[in-house]
Every structure is written in C-alpha cells, then in structure tokens.
Amino acid sequence: MGAEAEAEAPPTEYFIIRPKKIRLIDILSLLILRKSLTSYKFVDSSGTAKDGLRADWVTALTLLIMKVLDKIKVPLKWIGIIVEFIFNLFELNGGIGIIWRIITGKLVIPKRDSADFRSMIALIDGRQDLYKNNSLLHYFPLMEPQAGFDDINLLDITAMAAKIAYENPAYIENTVTNHWKMHFVGFYDCWNKFLEEKTTQAFIFCNKAEDADLIVLSFRGTEPFNAQDWSTDVDLSTLLAGKLGLLHLGFLKALGLQNETNFILGFPTSIEMNADKPVAYYILRQELRNLLAKHKNAKIIVTGHSLGGALSAVFPALLSYHNQNDILNSMHSVMNYGQPRVGDAIFKSYVNVLMRVKYQRMVYRYDIVPRIPFDLPPLSNFTHCGKCIYFDGWYKGKVVDEVPNPNYFLEPLSVPRMYLTAWGDLFRAFFIGYTAGKDFKEGIASILYRLTGLVLPGIACHSPRDYVNSVRLAKIENTLFV
C-alpha cells in the first residue's frame, strides 16, 4: 500500500511493549512510584490504549520475564543446538554403542536437515506412527460424524501433526509419506517483518494425493530453546483489529502483520510477496485455495501446539475478516493443544459465532501456556475462545468453559497440588510403558524433561507427549457443548 492508502486508514488502538528498552529500574519504578504505564519509554501506544493505567506486580513480573528472555536468547539457542546434537549423536550411534563406532571409524554425525534428526520435542516423544486404536472414546463428544474420513482418528492425526510440526522439513515429509501413507504438500518457512527473520513454520498434507477428503494445516509451536517464542507467549502487546476485537500483537506478527500500529494496513486483502520471504497468512491461504480447486470435496482442519495453537486460532478469523468464504466453507474444524490466549472478549465472541462447535482446544493438567497471557483486566484483557477438553488426572478428560487455576500461580492454594501432580507424572513415566503398552514407553529425554516440573510444574505439563497420550488414552466425560 502507498502513502495515500496509509493516510486514508482510520486510527486504531495499539499497545506495544519493547523488551529491548525495558530496564530493571523501570520495573522497580512501576512497583514503587506507580506511574502510568504508558509514560515509560519501553511502551508505545496510540495515546488512548491503557492510558493512565498503573501496573501491578503481575505486570512487573511479566516485564522481568520478557527482559530476561531477551538477554538469554542467544546462549539459550546455542544450548539447544548443543543438547540436540549430543542426544542425536547418541541415538544415531546406538547409545553406548557409540564407543565401538568411534573405535571402528563408523561414527554417524547428526545433520540438522536430515530426516533422522530429531528436535528436542521428538527426542522427548519420538513416535511417528498413527495410533491403531480407533475406539470412539477417543473423539470429542461434540465431534460431528467422520463420514468421508475413512478410519482416520482426527484427534490422533491432529495431535501428531502438531507434534511433528517442530521438526525439519525432511523429517516431516518422511513421517507423512512413509509412516502415515498420506500426501505431503509442503513445508513453509515464513518471514516475520518485525524480527527480520523466518520465525513462523507450518506444513500442509492431504490424506490422499488425488480426490482427498482431508487437508491438514499444522503450525509449529513454541520451541523449547527459543526465547523469542516464549517472550511472544507472555507478551501483553495488543492491536485493535476492527470487528475482531483486541488481538495479541505477537501472534499477528507471526502470521504476517505488515503494520504494527494499524490493523487495516497490517493485513490488507492481498500483498506482493518476495519469494524468499513468504508471509504465513497469505501463502498458506493461497495454498489452501489451490488444494480446494483440486480436491473439491475436501475438508480442512487447522491445528497446532502451544504458539502453533494460537496461530491456528487467529488464522480462520483472518480468513473471515477478508471474506474468504471459499476456504471457510470447507473448514471442518480447528483442533489445537496447549494454546495460549490470543484475544479479548470481542474476539472470543467473534470466533465462537464463526466456528460454532468447530473450535476445540485441549489442555493437559497444569500446562502453563494455556494460562498466559494472563486474564487480568484492565491491563491484560485476554481470554480463551470456546470450550475445551481439560485433562485432570491421568488422561481423564472433561468439557469445561475454563480450566482450573486459569492464571497459573495466582491461586496459592493450588500450588501444593501442582507439585504433587509433577511428582505423579514423573513416577508414572517409569511404568506407563508396562501399564499402557510399549507405544507409551518414555525415554531418558522425556524423563529429564519431566524433572523440570519439580521446579515449575506447568512447563512439564506442556509436553506434546502428554497431549498425544491424552488423545490415545482419553476417557472423556459424555458432556455435550452448548
């Protein structure tokens, strides 16, 4: 858009936190002097957004977390690279057998772009095959009949797609093609204009190469060693998106926002893309349209875990905003796992009307990510859309409007139970392979990850492994959505 179009765009409301500008003295000042939040240099706002609002200790803690994450993003990235390399080195060389391979000169060196290289997520849960048990108890109570999808377990395939979205393109294509016997369409590594790098990844596949019944779009989630991803999850920055309401700015940027202070300019109906810098929303929208032209009776499911779940929630709302009815009419559902909050009450109402019973999210126990950003008006006006399947206990699910302890640590009486849960999950991990079958056996990486729950319980509960297990071992109360 040119300068003339920009001048015609109506004003909008925005509130932006700049992590690089946050100083420790600012955080102390927020608590002691109680000045207006918008008076600080690390905040950009429209002048009306949050004007005159004083921050509380939760806000101060959020800012501190964002500051720390900004400082450690480079060393954390390198820690991740080293840890993943070491784990893959041992796995590719037979564990302790690595000694013999070194002696015989047959050592296999891991390559990050190869089909056998696993990210930390796949090291925690290396399962690639779909589950063979098609018992109806594995489906959400609200799910419409699966006519046309043959024997596909939609929960299992979306949970697995959300999990393998963390892997490299070769790994994903190998899983879809050789393990699932389905048609891999493409992997999309997309540009974030504001971070000036490719930070958003997604992939698409169909259940068949010809006359497909099902098209799945899966977004990559919050990577364990990516501080920027974690900072985005807790960020309180927002942008008023017209009839969509107030939306999380970081998630909009991840989908391809072009202007951070004006939604109309930020998401025009179409844009000209640089082939080397594809923009997530626009390239994925076009790919789905192309697929629907080929597979005229296919239905689309959008999924993701963590940050990927957030993107899966906003994506159909953007389609609706741009009246992309050809795609929306073919939308079967959004099914996501461990999704953070993405918008305010207006956005919630919009999505609930748009998707009706087609929007389903799953939360495992005390997973911290679905409980952020905090739902604490007037500063943090974030809430969840629809209802969810909440798993309390060992994979016993029930339909709820909101999970217990919705703001995580703000209910002190729940803290002892959270730690008991972490100990229980750790204890069960040693025996689940015997009680539930070898498909559920946990390795050293998963056990080590569960140990983080003894420090911060909500982190361990966020593992995609538990979401896949929840789908496969689910006993969901027969409660219908209303």
Cβ atoms 165, 220 nearer than 8 A: yes
For the question of residue 384 being annotated catalytic, the response is: no
Neighbouring CB atoms inside 10 A of 107's CB total 14
3-class secondary-structure state, position 442: coil
The residue assigned the tokens 């983080």 is 452
**Pairing mode of beta strands 238-240, 14-17:** antiparallel
Cβ atoms 441, 433 nearer than 8 A: yes
Paired tokens of 194: 């504001």
Of residues 88, 153, 76, 155, the one with CA closest to residue 119: 88
**Sequence letter at residue 331:** M
Given the residues 119, 218, 306, 320, select the one marked as catalytic. 306
For the question of residue 462 being annotated catalytic, the response is: yes
Of residues 405, 427, 435, 400, the one with CA closest to residue 417: 405
Rounded to 5 degrees, what are φ and ψ at 376?
-135, 80
For residues 254 and 268, give the distance between their C-alpha atoms in angstroms, rounded to a whole number. Answer: 15
Contacts of residue 426, defined as CB under 8 A and 6 or more positions apart, other chains included, come to 447, 450, 451, 453, 454, 460
Paired tokens of 275: 């082939």
8-state DSSP, 20: G
For residues 237 and 342, give the distance between their C-alpha atoms in angstroms, rounded to a whole number. Answer: 11
For the chain, the maximum distance between any two Cα atoms, rounded to a whole number of angstroms, is 71
Neighbouring CB atoms inside 10 A of 36's CB total 14
Cβ atoms 165, 218 nearer than 8 A: yes
Exposed/middle/buried for residue 106 (C-beta within 10 Å: 0-12, 13-18, 19+): exposed
Given the residues 231, 332, 462, 463, select the one marked as catalytic. 462
For residues 73 and 85, give the distance between their C-alpha atoms in angstroms, rounded to a whole number. Answer: 18
Paired tokens of 97: 């057998």
Of residues 427, 435, 440, 432, the one with CA closest to residue 472: 440
β-bridge mates for residue 381, sequence order: 375
Of residues 184, 162, 217, 200, the one with CA closest to residue 115: 184
**Pairing mode of beta strands 331-337, 359-364:** parallel
Paired tokens of 108: 């296999």
For the question of residue 138 being annotated catalytic, the response is: no
For residues 370 and 364, give the distance between their C-alpha atoms in angstroms, rounded to a whole number. Answer: 9
Given the residues 26, 213, 229, 367, select the one marked as catalytic. 367
Q: Which residues are designated catalytic?
A: 306, 367, 462
